[in-house]
Amino acid sequence: MVDPSDLSPEQLTVASLGQAQHKSPLRKSLYPGDGLGDFVADDMRMLYEPRFRQGEPLSQLSFERAGAREKLFFDPGKTKVAIVTCGGLCPGINNVIRSLVLELTFNYGVQNVWGFRYGFQGLNPEQSRLPMALTPKVVEDIHHRGGTILGTSRGHQSPEVMAHCLADQGFDILFCIGGDGTQHGAHSIASEIARRELPISVVGIPKTIDNDIRFCFRTFGYYTAVAEAETVVDRAHVEAKSILNGVGLVKLMGREAGFIAAAAALASGEANFVLVPEVDFPLEGENGFLAKLQHRLATREHAVVVVAEGAGQDWMPSRTKEHDASGNRRLADVGPFLKQKIQESCAAASLPVKVKYFDPSYHIRSVPATAADSLLCERLARNAVHAAMAGKTDMLIGLWHNHFIHVPLAISTGAKKQLSPEGELWQAVLALTGQ
Amino acid sequence: MVDPSDLSPEQLTVASLGQAQHKSPLRKSLYPGDGLGDFVADDMRMLYEPRFRQGEPLSQLSFERAGAREKLFFDPGKTKVAIVTCGGLCPGINNVIRSLVLELTFNYGVQNVWGFRYGFQGLNPEQSRLPMALTPKVVEDIHHRGGTILGTSRGHQSPEVMAHCLADQGFDILFCIGGDGTQHGAHSIASEIARRELPISVVGIPKTIDNDIRFCFRTFGYYTAVAEAETVVDRAHVEAKSILNGVGLVKLMGREAGFIAAAAALASGEANFVLVPEVDFPLEGENGFLAKLQHRLATREHAVVVVAEGAGQDWMPSRTKEHDASGNRRLADVGPFLKQKIQESCAAASLPVKVKYFDPSYHIRSVPATAADSLLCERLARNAVHAAMAGKTDMLIGLWHNHFIHVPLAISTGAKKQLSPEGELWQAVLALTGQ
Amino acid sequence: MVDPSDLSPEQLTVASLGQAQHKSPLRKSLYPGDGLGDFVADDMRMLYEPRFRQGEPLSQLSFERAGAREKLFFDPGKTKVAIVTCGGLCPGINNVIRSLVLELTFNYGVQNVWGFRYGFQGLNPEQSRLPMALTPKVVEDIHHRGGTILGTSRGHQSPEVMAHCLADQGFDILFCIGGDGTQHGAHSIASEIARRELPISVVGIPKTIDNDIRFCFRTFGYYTAVAEAETVVDRAHVEAKSILNGVGLVKLMGREAGFIAAAAALASGEANFVLVPEVDFPLEGENGFLAKLQHRLATREHAVVVVAEGAGQDWMPSRTKEHDASGNRRLADVGPFLKQKIQESCAAASLPVKVKYFDPSYHIRSVPATAADSLLCERLARNAVHAAMAGKTDMLIGLWHNHFIHVPLAISTGAKKQLSPEGELWQAVLALTGQ
Amino acid sequence: MVDPSDLSPEQLTVASLGQAQHKSPLRKSLYPGDGLGDFVADDMRMLYEPRFRQGEPLSQLSFERAGAREKLFFDPGKTKVAIVTCGGLCPGINNVIRSLVLELTFNYGVQNVWGFRYGFQGLNPEQSRLPMALTPKVVEDIHHRGGTILGTSRGHQSPEVMAHCLADQGFDILFCIGGDGTQHGAHSIASEIARRELPISVVGIPKTIDNDIRFCFRTFGYYTAVAEAETVVDRAHVEAKSILNGVGLVKLMGREAGFIAAAAALASGEANFVLVPEVDFPLEGENGFLAKLQHRLATREHAVVVVAEGAGQDWMPSRTKEHDASGNRRLADVGPFLKQKIQESCAAASLPVKVKYFDPSYHIRSVPATAADSLLCERLARNAVHAAMAGKTDMLIGLWHNHFIHVPLAISTGAKKQLSPEGELWQAVLALTGQ
């Protein structure tokens, strides 16, 4: 959790391309109660922190609220829009693409929507495939499929090259669907565009299966991932219970944040140990994980262990300094390491153990979105369109207290949201596992 | 949405059985940052409305926050707890029961937990089966199953009889899992208990598949229901498209509130018309539903219609004044009515139509909870235990801005939460269907 | 089951368009053991009945085996092929279409494949939409979707008109995917083609979710339907058990044959009564269904009843003589009838019963095929291509003792396969329910 | 496929404990057509091979048919029955246990059914947990859960010890649910029992997720495994297509037999290469797998590869001679080997490839059975009860031409069923992939 005292109102101010002068074609009004949906004015805010202590003052720190604006910066009939998807797969990307296209086309009347291919590579003319035209017909059925119809890639491209590509091809808006690295890239593009004083809007749509983007209470794909991960934990439980001293060991996604591991464990209700990056757990020693696991086996004869991929990095000597093409630190593989440690320590204790290891990562992220995520994608996309058409830029759509907000890219990127060890989710894990 | 001006701080004040004097056995602290989860103090509040207009003052209206208290009213080792489940099935009831039992037993050390059978009937000694003992072993696997292991029923029982039953059998706490009618009944029991000045806590856990309980942003089972309902809408779409002028007509749950219909339509992305109780739609006439449907068929040759069971009641002459055992108004059946109207109007227009009618209600509500709902059940149940053990009473656990709160039963019952026609969900439906 | 004594070898002889002279392009051989797949010769047979009594002679009655032929009647490069889908939806139709197209195109080198739209209507130039070209690209993803991309319809069209349509447009082969009525229509077309002495092959691919086509041990879509139906029975069980004297009443598909009802009941393991068209069950009286149900409620307090739509027609006064567009007899609706009878008889016996009624038909038939059915579709389609390219006609592909066979349309249509009351499936139902 | 010339009628003769003298309590008759199910007489046979060439004689080689016998060897009221489950998990084990118990209890009236715990270990008093009583109440819901409620283990136990255990505890019947190794063990127990001239029946129920037991056309769990495996292949396809030169590499179960790999590839329709143990494929060289894969990437930019775990063992230098506790040869891990080879060979060819590797084994085998498998389990179990009660022994229940048969353990074990390279399933794979 970010401490509100770290943020200033200035940092929460969203950049704009300029005066919005075109009348919105949406059938909404400024007046609640007339049966029409309401336009949102720029001075409508969402409080950062609604929790308070009786008698103590509330901090006024707040976000700009998302929603349709009465005036648009871009003239829809003349607007050319691009969409790009970057980084790893996440359930719901195609839903977002579809809703962007449908909102732009049917509701705003934009006729010119394109998809860059294979991530930021697509904005580099040297490397790229041609962009594909995105029409309602093209996106008609895509939301029932996992993956991204645009393709994706990892890795850095020059902001100058990408900004030039957009300007050169006459694009007015770029929607960047991606995680922290992607939004960082989007910020670079927006900065380069600002430097060149071009009227091009760059709007981010946060995509992180790990649920680790700041100011996004929940990101799309996360619930779908938890649902898939839950089935893995449930199956690990079946395997563990089917033999004497069976251990079901499940490695789940979560490089910096244990949200998926914690939530899957809770949803399943079958995990006995949950290891996440945010909470240190000694491996060896009397109160260490291995001793506790042996105790569990001695008394209950089976156990289920859920470990986030970023957990236990300190346990492993081979912790590397390398980074992948997206700039993510390469992690040592905690799954096989832990499997071996469990086997060795149990062997030393003459406890005959059988470890069944589950590593489902790609299996989880390639599925279509479940309904709860489809709903989120749909609303996220439409709010992104509203923001971009109004000339907002260098920002992403966040979710705060169940309402959508505008978050400047400068503050949403660079650091990641993490599980709070004292927060409710982790405390619920402790309540369940008693670990 | 309730207008905050309708509520006074007094109405939001939660009743308590008296001074909490027992030390909580939970391993938590009062101090953020020490790595331990934090107890919540009674003066920690959640703002009712965090949205505001720049320069305008915030209303201080607020709820009491849920969470573990440092001091308990009940001595866990001597506490006797009852659970009852009432009304229609809803995915997640067994999850709630399981988490109540696990939290009470493992974390608070309560040894005496019982489940009344078949709803409020179970608290009427004349009608009842014996209560069943609820131990961790009994509830071990129940969360993977739909339904309720306790059984349920509809209908009123005398508050005097039920209060007497609780007192007579020495119960300290009653958890009531149910919808608006159930919580109204819980309030009656709590009032009778208060009249008798008994130290018995009554805590409600809101259960409504329709998502229509006030001060509960989302209720458990709702997302599961939407996921199931989405598949029905998707299949209706397959049927509709497979023939010339096919109409897939889907009736979904939603007596007073169209949340499931709206969300399933959005998640599916395949609905062309959505009819909900909150928004009037003329049936006949140039701008009526039937004319618009014919226009759709003439141009696209198929259509999908989603109708909430409470929609279109004004269209039907047979609207009855009867109520069911739970006190719910009996609705005329809009599904077959609409099917016939579509067939007749198309026949009159010489448009050969085929209507495929789907009525999946029981199919939807009997499934196990999906992961997103399992998580909610788990947290809801633990917070209910915290509240009851601290001596809170005549209240239910609400969800507000993603945090749990305490809501007096007096204000949460009697009126239902509805879809706002100007709100984001309904506006998204309009954006999708263009209806 | 057909009695072999009803059939003569002549009736089992498959019609052929004439001498096959073109060499098959498939990479197969005539010799087992060389690692290549084997062509099937026309004199390779499948015994009708492999069960026998020691010491008694085997009947030599047998079917022609399906499979790739060494010589083709049609020259692939010049062959024009049509596909049509008729009747109700069934899981797997798109799989069959896809495999037909892939086998024709990639393996035989046929360049010219078309899909008639909306059933036999598509072969009537007066009523039809234009046929759609079917290429590997078009069918690439269709097998993951329910329904039929060609559309379907019910009802008769003139064989003369259809035969003329095929000849007029230069088609060499017609694949008819459909049930008993469709295959009857296909036989009419083939007869008309024979009368005109045209070299056009008509090959049927049996499609019946009810699994009721003769000489097809199992038809595609059946296992998928049973899987879906099983979940309905399971959910009915959850509903029934959640209340006192709850009855889950499930109506399943099966007009003439109770295969789906019987198999879903068995797979679920939760049904207490199964009613099918093939086995009479008295409704009233001491040994009647209603009395037995009351007895079950009195002792077990809940029950699950599965009824095939064609069961109990004798119970209902309103049994009609009408037929639908496919020539199927209109059935009286046994579901609501039974619900009312149960309620009335229990009321008369002062047994407070709650009936939860499930009618999932469209829900079941619109899903994509499960793996077991996908496999069947794939193999069925390829064998249909082999037969047609070899000049076989007026036949369908059957499945007998797990091998594919050629069945003349004249004997496969007109009567339907039914559940044998003394056979293993029904006996297993009796063993389970003890009804 | 076994060549019938390898088998003699004597080898197909099923052992019996002696004269069956007790009247069966089942309500069946000897006469077809009376509406009652039929008892099966011992001279009712199932032909080994029903395919023949016109004019050539049929081989009379045949199996004894399974089914209820009119006379029983055991007196149901005095019979004590044991069940044991061995080896790896397989969907449907709990279904088999449940149906055994229900048939024994409700239909035969056996009151004494026990489950040995954790495989053959349970029959070794030195190692064992106590057996658990199996009543209808205990098995009521178990078929909806994966795994085995009895637990399982791998490995050999002394036949003498196990036979003694059975005799000592007064068991009359032992049902062994397991694969080739288990049935081999069952045969050893039966041989030891025969040597001691004890009247104890040992009946095997084949359990192999790989579908590789001889004379069992299809084993339970196989279709469920294929359905799960299909989803993995589908997801691998999503991953492969989402990036440039993406390869989805899926390792599936199949130590000696490629049935799961072949069927999952076919059901998915998305595999481009399928590698199985039965068919050699060169790795290197112009026509090798790596060259063909590179060609595919160069032209289509993505590929899906399915490899059975027993495939490509010759490619790997580290092929070991070790065996696991069940006596299965330890395989070198072809998945990571192939991943590395693909990466190296593409790097050498300057083709930037990304391999997404899927290894879902435990994920697949721990699920509940799908409907098609539930049906098979149910019927298999009931036929096993019929056989054992009639005094058959040293045999397993096979499935041949869709009817159940009795197969002596001596001929069903020791060698495994494999995919025929010239058979229809593999030929269909070649037709699909064109590999």
pLDDT in tens, C392-432: 999 999 999 999 999 999 998 878 889 999 998 999 999 99
The pLDDT value recorded for residue C204 is: 98
Distances, alpha carbon D157 to alpha carbons B281, B392, D126, D189, D415, in Å: 74, 60, 11, 10, 21
State whether D360 and A363 contact (CB < 8 Å). yes
Among chain C residues, the shortest Cα distance to D51 is held by: C46
Among A232-236, B420-424, D4-8, the range of highest mean pLDDT: A232-236
Give contacts of A362 with chain D, Cβ < 8 Å: 235-236, 239, 356-358
Give contacts of C149 with chain A, Cβ < 8 Å: none
A98 contacts chain B (CB < 8 A)? yes
D217 contacts chain A (CB < 8 A)? no
Average pLDDT, chain C: 93
B367 contacts chain C (CB < 8 A)? yes
Residue D30 has which token pair?
């000897």
Set D210, D212, D234, D373: catalytic member: D210
Instruction: Looking at the complex, report in whole angstroms how far the Cα of residue A325 sits from the nearest Cα belonging to chain B.
Output: 32
The size of the A-B interface in CB pairs under 8 A is: 178
Indicate the helix (H) or strand (E) that contains A23: strand A22-23
Set C210, C212, C234, C394: catalytic member: C210
Pairwise CA distance, residues C343 & C82, whole Å: 52
B89 contacts chain C (CB < 8 A)? yes
Output the pTM of the full model. Answer: 0.95
Percentage, residues of chain A above pLDDT 70: 97
Per-residue confidence at C21, pLDDT binned at 50, 70, 90? very high
Among chain B residues, the shortest Cα distance to D144 is held by: B145
- Tell whether the model's pLDDT for residue A1 goes beyond 50: no
pLDDT, tens digit, 9 for 90 and up, residues D38-80: 999 999 999 999 999 998 988 889 999 999 999 999 999 999 9
pLDDT, tens digit, 9 for 90 and up, residues B281-290: 999 999 999 9
Question: Mutating which of C363, C364, C365, C367 best tests the B interface, going by the most B Cβ atoms within 10 A?
Answer: C363
Give contacts of A368 with chain C, Cβ < 8 Å: none
Q: What is the mean pLDDT of residues B394-411?
A: 96
D362 contacts chain A (CB < 8 A)? yes
Pairwise CA distance, residues D163 & D200, whole Å: 9
Instruction: Looking at the complex, report in whole angstroms how far the Cα of residue C294 sits from the nearest Cα belonging to chain B.
Output: 20
Distances, alpha carbon A145 to alpha carbons A140, B248, D269, D408, in Å: 11, 22, 15, 49
Q: What is the mean pLDDT of residues A71-85?
A: 98
Average pLDDT, chain A: 93
pLDDT, tens digit, 9 for 90 and up, residues A19-48: 999 999 999 999 998 989 999 999 999 999
Per-residue confidence at A211, pLDDT binned at 50, 70, 90? confident
Set A210, A212, A373, A394: catalytic member: A210
Residues within 8 A of A (CB atoms), C 133-172 only:
141, 144-145
Give contacts of A370 with chain B, Cβ < 8 Å: 227, 370, 372
State whether B45 and A36 contact (CB < 8 Å). no
Instruction: Looking at the complex, report in whole angstroms how far the Cα of residue B278 sits from the nearest Cα belonging to chain C.
Output: 28
Instruction: Looking at the complex, report in whole angstroms how far the Cα of residue C157 sits from the nearest Cα belonging to chain D.
Output: 35
Among chain C residues, the shortest Cα distance to D405 is held by: C51
Instruction: Looking at the complex, report in whole angstroms how far the Cα of residue D147 sits from the nearest Cα belonging to chain A.
Output: 6
User: Three-state secondary structure along chain B?
Assistant: CCCHHHCCCCCCCCEECCCCCEECCCCCECCCCCCCCECCCCCEEEECCCEEECCCCCCCCEEEECCCCCEECCCHHHCEEEEEECCCCCCCHHHHHHHHHHHHHHHHCCCEEEECCCHHHHHCCCCCCCCEECCHHHHCCHHHCCCCCCCCCCCCCCHHHHHHHHHHCCCCEEEEEECHHHHHHHHHHHHHHHHCCCCCEEEEEECCCCCCCCCECCCCCHHHHHHHHHHHHHHHHHHHHCCCCEEEEEEECCCCCCHHHHHHHHHHCCCCEEECCCCCCCCCCCCCHHHHHHHHHHHHCEEEEEEECCCCHHHCCCCCCCECCCCCECCCCHHHHHHHHHHHHHHHCCCCCEEEEECCHHHHHCCCCCHHHHHHHHHHHHHHHHHHHCCEECEEEEEECCEEEEEEHHHHCCCCCCCCCCCHHHHHHHHHHCC
Cβ-contact B367, B146 below 8 angstroms: yes
- Tell whether the model's pLDDT for residue A3 goes beyond 70: no
Pairwise CA distance, residues B165 & B153, whole Å: 18
Give contacts of D234 with chain C, Cβ < 8 Å: 144
Per-residue confidence at C325, pLDDT binned at 50, 70, 90? low
Distances, alpha carbon A11 to alpha carbons A6, A43, A391, in Å: 10, 16, 18
Give contacts of A144 with chain C, Cβ < 8 Å: 145
3-state SS, residue D147: coil
Pairwise CA distance, residues B422 & A31, whole Å: 10
Pairwise CA distance, residues C408 & C418, whole Å: 19
Give contacts of A360 with chain D, Cβ < 8 Å: 360, 363
B120 contacts chain C (CB < 8 A)? no
Give contacts of B265 with chain A, Cβ < 8 Å: none
State whether A146 and D357 contact (CB < 8 Å). no
Pairwise CA distance, residues B53 & A175, whole Å: 28
Instruction: Looking at the complex, report in whole angstroms how far the Cα of residue B140 sits from the nearest Cα belonging to chain D.
Output: 13
CB-neighbour burial class of residue C128 (10 A; exposed 0-12, middle 13-18, buried 19+): middle
Percentage, residues of chain A above pLDDT 90: 86
The pLDDT value recorded for residue D370 is: 96
B330-339 burial, b at 16+ Cβ within 10 Å, e below that, comes to ebbebbebbb
Give the distance from CA C196 to its chain's centroid. 30
Indicate the helix (H) or strand (E) that contains D274: strand D273-275
Is position C333 annotated as part of the catalytic site?
no
Give contacts of C360 with chain B, Cβ < 8 Å: 360, 363
How many residues in total does chain B contain? 435
Residue C161 has which token pair?
């008109």
Instruction: Looking at the complex, report in whole angstroms how far the Cα of residue A241 sits from the nearest Cα belonging to chain D.
Output: 7
The pLDDT value recorded for residue A19 is: 93
Among chain C residues, the shortest Cα distance to D425 is held by: C379
The size of the C-D interface in CB pairs under 8 A is: 178
The pLDDT value recorded for residue D8 is: 87
CB-neighbour burial class of residue B167 (10 A; exposed 0-12, middle 13-18, buried 19+): middle
The pLDDT value recorded for residue A319 is: 54
Instruction: Looking at the complex, report in whole angstroms how far the Cα of residue C415 sits from the nearest Cα belonging to chain B.
Output: 27
Average pLDDT, chain B: 93
With contact defined as 3+ CB pairs under 8 Å, the chains touching B are A, C, D
Q: Parallel, antiparallel, or unpaired: how do β-strands D302-308 and D246-252 relate?
A: parallel
pLDDT, tens digit, 9 for 90 and up, residues B179-195: 999 999 999 999 999 99
Give contacts of D141 with chain B, Cβ < 8 Å: 145
Tens digit of each residue's pLDDT, chain D (435 residues): 445 567 888 899 999 999 999 999 999 999 998 989 999 999 999 999 999 999 898 888 999 999 999 999 999 999 999 999 999 999 999 999 999 999 999 999 999 999 999 999 999 988 878 999 999 999 999 999 999 999 999 988 999 999 999 999 999 999 999 999 999 999 999 999 999 999 999 999 999 998 888 899 999 999 999 999 999 999 999 999 999 999 999 999 999 999 999 999 999 999 999 999 999 999 999 999 999 999 999 999 999 999 999 999 999 976 566 776 666 777 899 999 999 999 999 999 999 999 999 999 899 999 999 999 999 999 999 999 999 999 999 999 999 999 999 999 999 887 888 999 999 899 999 999 988
- Tell whether the model's pLDDT for residue A167 goes beyond 90: yes
3-state SS, residue C203: strand
Pairwise CA distance, residues B406 & B390, whole Å: 12
Q: What is the mean pLDDT of residues B390-403?
A: 96
D239 contacts chain A (CB < 8 A)? yes
Among chain C residues, the shortest Cα distance to A141 is held by: C145
Among chain A residues, the shortest Cα distance to B425 is held by: A379
C29 contacts chain B (CB < 8 A)? no
Beta strands in C132-213 (DSSP E): 132-133, 173-178, 201-206
Set B210, B234, B373, B394: catalytic member: B210
Give contacts of C145 with chain A, Cβ < 8 Å: 141, 144
Question: Mutating which of C129, C143, C242, C250 best tests the B interface, going by the most B Cβ atoms within 10 A?
Answer: C242
With contact defined as 3+ CB pairs under 8 Å, the chains touching C are A, B, D
Pairwise CA distance, residues A352 & B421, whole Å: 63
pLDDT, tens digit, 9 for 90 and up, residues C111-170: 999 999 999 999 999 887 899 999 999 999 999 999 999 999 998 899 999 999 999 999
Residue B206, φ and ψ in degrees, nearest 5 = -65, 130
Among chain D residues, the shortest Cα distance to B142 is held by: D141
Nearest by Cα to D266 from D419, D373, D435, D426: D426
Cβ-contact D50, C47 below 8 angstroms: yes
Q: What is the mean pLDDT of residues C34-40?
A: 93
pLDDT, tens digit, 9 for 90 and up, residues C38-97: 999 999 999 999 999 998 988 889 999 999 999 999 999 999 999 999 999 999 999 999
List, in order, residues 6 or more apart from A234 with CB less than 8 Å away: A268, A270, B144
Q: Which range, of A120-129, A285-294, B79-88, D353-362, averages the lowest pLDDT? A: A120-129
State whether D47 and C43 contact (CB < 8 Å). no
Selecting from B32, B263, B382 the residue whose C-beta is nearest the C-beta of A422 gives B32
Instruction: Looking at the complex, report in whole angstroms how far the Cα of residue C271 sits from the nearest Cα belonging to chain D.
Output: 12
Nearest by Cα to C185 from C261, C108, C120, C231: C120
Cβ atoms within 10 Å of C80's Cβ, excluding its own: 17
